[in-house]
Amino acid sequence: MEELTKLSDAEAVDRFVEKYQELNREIGKVIVGQQDVIERVVVSIFSRGHSLLVGVPGLAKTLLVNTIAKSLGLSFNRVQFTPDLMPSDIIGSEILDENRQFRFVKGPLFANIILADEINRTPPKTQSALLEAMQEKAVTAGGQNYVLPEPFFVLATQNPIEQEGTYPLPEAQLDRFMFNIWVDYPSFEEELNVVKTTTSDHSVSLNPILNAEEIVFFQNLIRKIPVSDNVMEYAVRLASKTRPETDAADDIVKKYISWGAGPRASQYLVVGAKCMAAIRGKYSPDIQDVQDIALPILRHRLVRNYKAEAEGYSMERIIQSIL
């Protein structure tokens, strides 16, 4: 860590690229394919954001998060969200110990990486407890404020095909997530490779590439990366073009969108572009970096109207038209 603090910003970016490549190789020991998903999860971690993973069961979402946590040298907890889960089950609660003193017992939320499995299966009260922790990086219990460990990252999953008995996240709460990442099926070759390795005695040991202190250092480095005025203006203009009530809105937005992205989208477009630039070894982001992360940032922030659904206009198609 002392060695990192002595580097100039440009040298630190070069070191970040090396660490990212090492991290990719380490994750690749366990996870086959899914390069876009891995890249976006890593970008959200170093951008101090959170991600929502949407995909059918069996696509190794839990294994992916566990592998990333081990490769980053971070603590990891998985919480299975169910209809009877209460806020105290994830935050923790006060108990009366043997000395008749109240003592706070920390819940699973006190880890660096939290996997909120099927977040839409739990009632809004418990969802709100998690979302408050995501925003404030702290929780309150028994009148005391407890700061969560740094870095802190939530990866929530949703099953898109089974909606019975679910409590979908409202748009205002979805806005807390930096990325909405779609996890797709693997290709034939990738699935063949998965089956070969998982049906044999093949085992892999993972080595931590970074530790918590180094991750916080690189998170701070990303924030310091300069952004030119034209890239900043492009990101803000892109977000404003999704709002149908504004003059800047595209015709397709006015026709098919009932609600657009808020200022948080603009912030994430800029921070995410900084991280994408750093991963690619650049010292400042360009418009291409903004475009490359626009889809997962905007996907869950726009609300289609009935006309878009009736005419089969997907969110992806609308966003690509805006870009």
In the predicted structure, residue 162 carries a pLDDT above the cut 70: no
3-state DSSP of 169-180: CCHHHHCCCCEE
Query: Could you tell me the two tokens for 263?
Result: 């200022």
Cα 290 from chain centroid (whole Å): 16
CA distances to 174, 246, 256, 258, 279 from 243, in Å: 17, 6, 11, 8, 31
User: What pLDDT digit, counting tens, does each position of 201-211 carry?
Assistant: 777 778 888 88
DSSP class per residue in 92-155: EEEEE-TTS-EEEEE-TTSSSEEEEETGGGS-HHHHHHHHHHHHHSEEEETTEEEEPPSS-EEE
User: What pLDDT digit, counting tens, does each position of 130-153 carry?
Assistant: 887 888 888 887 778 888 888 899
In the predicted structure, residue 161 carries a pLDDT above the cut 70: no
Is CATH 3.40.50.261 the right assignment for the domain spanning 225-322?
A: no
User: What pLDDT digit, counting tens, does each position of 212-262 carry?
Assistant: 888 989 999 999 999 999 999 999 999 898 888 888 777 888 888 888 888
Collapsing DSSP to helix, strand or coil, 218 comes out as helix
pLDDT band (50, 70, 90) for residue 316:
confident
User: What pLDDT digit, counting tens, does each position of 56-106 carry?
Assistant: 777 777 888 888 888 888 888 888 888 888 888 888 888 877 777 778 888
The domains of the chain are located at: 2-213, 225-322
Distance CA 184, CA 233 (A): 32
Of the chain, the percentage scoring pLDDT greater than 90 comes to: 17
CA distances to 5, 62, 151 from 197, in Å: 40, 17, 32
Tokens 């921070």, located at residue: 271
Domains 2-213 and 225-322 share a fold: no
Q: How buried is residue 284: exposed, middle or buried, by Cβ count under 10 Å (0-12/13-18/19+)?
A: middle
Give, for 182, the enclosing helix (H) or strand (E): strand 179-182
- 159 compared with 179, residue with greater pLDDT: 179
pTM: 0.88
Collapsing DSSP to helix, strand or coil, 157 comes out as strand
Distance CA 37, CA 26 (A): 15
In the predicted structure, residue 165 carries a pLDDT above the cut 70: no
Tell me how many degrees the CA angle 2-150-227 measures, rounded to the nearest 5: 75
Residue 155's DSSP bridge partners are: 51, 115
- CATH for 2-213 is 3.40.50.300
Q: What is the mean pLDDT of residues 257-281?
A: 90
Per the document, the length of the chain is 323
Of the candidates 217, 227, 224, 207, the residue with the CA atom closest to the CA atom of residue 287: 227
Instruction: List phi, psi (to 5°) of 93.
Output: -150, 165
